[in-house]
Amino acid sequence: MEKQKTKFRTLFSKTAGLLLVLLTLSLPCFAMQFSQPVELGSSFFGHYNTTGHQIEGATKINVTRYLHPVKKAYLGYDKGYATFDGGKLYVHYEGGTQPLVRIGSSDKSNTVQVPCGSIYKINTDQGIALYFLNGDGYGYPSYRLIGKRADGRFVKYVEGEAIDKVYGFRWGDQTFYSFDVNKDSIIVHYHTFPMNHSVKLQWDEAAKWFSYAKI
* Rg of the chain (C-alpha set): 24
pLDDT band at 183 (very low <50, low <70, confident <90, very high): very high
At 20 the pLDDT is: 41
Element (H, E) at 144: strand 143-148
Q: What is the 3-state secondary structure (H, E, C) of 156-206?
A: EEEEHHHHHHHHCCCCCCCCEEEEEEECCEEEEEEEECCEEEEEEEEEECC
pLDDT band at 49 (very low <50, low <70, confident <90, very high): low
pTM beyond cutoff 0.85? no
**pLDDT for 4-32, tens place per residue?**
545 545 544 555 444 444 444 443 445 89
**pLDDT for 81-94, tens place per residue?**
999 999 999 999 88
